[in-house]
Amino acid sequence: MSEGFETQSEQAKKSNRHQPKPKEAISIEVVQQSLVKNFSDIRDPRVERTKKHQLTDILVIAILAVIAGAQGWEDIENYGISKQQWLEEFLALPNGIPSDDTFRRVFEFINPEELNRCFLKWVETLMTKMGGEVIPIDGKTIRGSYDRNQRKSALHMISAWASEQNLVLAQMKVEDKSNEITAIPALLELLDITGAIITIDAMGTQTEIAQKIIEKKADYVLALKANHPTLYHQVKTWFEQASAQNFQGIDVSYDQRIEKGHYRTEIRQVWSVPVSAIGELYQPRLWVGIQSVVMVVRVRRLWNHTTRDVQFYLTSLHSDALFLGRAIRKHWGIENQAHWTLDCTFAEDSCRIRSFHSPRNFSLLRRIALNVLNREQTYQRSLRQKMKRTAMDNDYMIRVLSSCFIDSTLNSSKSLCQA
């Protein structure tokens, strides 16, 4: 009778594949202490006589709720009410769960620079060595954060992404009536990028930014487009002529990759040459550290049409098509794994939080949640499923938090207590 059907043991094995692997239990109090410690430098913006709830309680509930999928202040309050009995085990909650208006008012006036500094300090505890890490930098507009009544445009942020470790390293607001060109150097100033490879799209391809990256002892791969018309047309014309002659007599490095998936085939061809091969490059001294120029041709074949895209890059790295092609490919990690996830999983673009500092502070809560969920690797499911599980399972929430909010000091104190 069992022929053609899975046995009970086989079904058990399949169901266990998606269960978190056993791990040493960690006290939620220890996790909470570490979490509060990382964000203890934030000053309370409220007047003393109006405080009915502790700032640490408000911060902890908000972070937990956003990890569990909260998309606004009412969601955060509902999470707190639903989990009140559990939260009372490690939070003071002198007057119960704060209301949605309390969460809103607090995050409207928390200094976003202070919250950002705490975020940076926390991320530093998660990062391993940066040598060789590809760090894409790119901008994203939080589309729902505009406010017509206040004549306020949507918030635009630039972020740095660690491609290997799947972590948002830092973010910086692009000031009104400005652009990413002025914000990127300020973002780089926040980071220790020694030995890393910084990739930026055409907006950030500026001589000052290239110089800043070299000063920070890192390398760059910068997209070259028509916003630098003279240099772009020189490089484009040179590669067209060299390709027509099959790069005869030129020191060229070449690599080709073919990928299939999602009903399409993509062929990526990469050519890189030393700057000296091009001859007299337009204003070469302005591009500090430049060593190679790269051409990438992408051909995408779908069932009903074919597209061809040609892109050029300036880089401070040696001419190595295989290595440079991989670095350029990893730049898209910030779009696919960070920005796309923030929009589709965290519903960032549809969020209408827009008053005072709240859109910027809430965007940082989402990035904390993204980092925390990416860091937890025992439950091999999508971020959306991890998020839902944290909302349903307090033990799994503790597991997720312990992957990011346990430092050596607390671990050692815990060991001493147990001894």
DSSP string, 358-396: HHHHHHHHHHHHHHHHHH--SS-S-HHHHHHHHHH-HHH
At residue 178, the pLDDT reads 79
Sign of torsion over alpha carbons 344, 143, 41, 187: positive
Work out the number of other CB atoms within 10 angstroms of the CB of residue 199. 28
Query: 3-state DSSP call for residue 270?
Result: strand
Helix and strand element counts for the chain (H, E): 18, 9
Residue 79 pLDDT class (50, 70, 90 cuts): very high
189-218 pLDDT, tens digit each = 999 999 999 999 999 999 999 999 999 999
**Per-range mean pLDDT, top range of 32-46, 82-96, 115-129:** 82-96
Relative to beta strand 197-200, strand 219-224 is parallel
Mean pLDDT of 228-237: 96
For residue 11, the model assigns a pLDDT of: 53
Position 338 pLDDT exceeds 90: yes
pLDDT at 2: 42
Is the per-residue pLDDT at 96 higher than 80? yes
Using the predicted structure, report yes or no on whether residue 21 has a pLDDT greater than 90: no
Strand order in the sheet with 197-200: 167-173, 155-162, 134-142, 197-200, 219-224, 306-315, 292-301, 264-274, 253-261
End-to-end CA distance of the chain: 55
Distances in whole angstroms, Cα of residue 232 to Cα of each of 228, 291, 320, 417: 6, 16, 21, 64
380 vs 377: CA distance, rounded Å: 6
Q: Chain-wide mean pLDDT for the chain?
A: 90
d(CA 73, CA 107): 10
Which one, of 336, 393, 394, 395, lies nearest residue 370 by Cα? Answer: 336
Average pLDDT over residues 242-266: 94
The answer to whether residue 415 scores a pLDDT higher than 90 is no
Query: What band does 18 get if pLDDT is binned at 50, 70 and 90?
Result: low
- The proportion of the chain whose per-residue pLDDT surpasses 90, expressed as a percent, equals 79
**What average pLDDT does range 308-336 have in this prediction?**
97
How far does CA 111 lie from the centroid of its chain?
21
Inter-helix orientation angle 383-392/55-67, to 10°: 130
C-alpha–C-alpha distance, residues 363 and 79, integer Å: 18
pLDDT tens column, 30-64: 888 888 888 989 999 999 988 999 999 999 999 99
Q: What share of the chain is helix, strand, coil (3-state, %, to 5)?
A: 45, 20, 35
pLDDT of amino acid 247: 96
pLDDT at 315: 98
Hey, CA dihedral for 74, 80, 81, 82, is it positive or negative? positive
Q: How far is it, in rounded angstroms, from Cα 294 to Cα 291? A: 10
Q: Express each pLDDT in 144-194 by its tens digit.
A: 999 999 889 999 999 999 999 999 999 999 987 778 999 999 999 999 999
Q: 318 with 72: CB under 8 angstroms?
A: no
**Mean pLDDT throughout 281-296?**
93
pLDDT of res. 10: 53
Bridge partners, residue 269, by sequence: 256, 297
Low-confidence winner among 9-18, 76-85, 92-101, 103-112 (lowest mean pLDDT):
9-18
Residue 1 pLDDT:
40
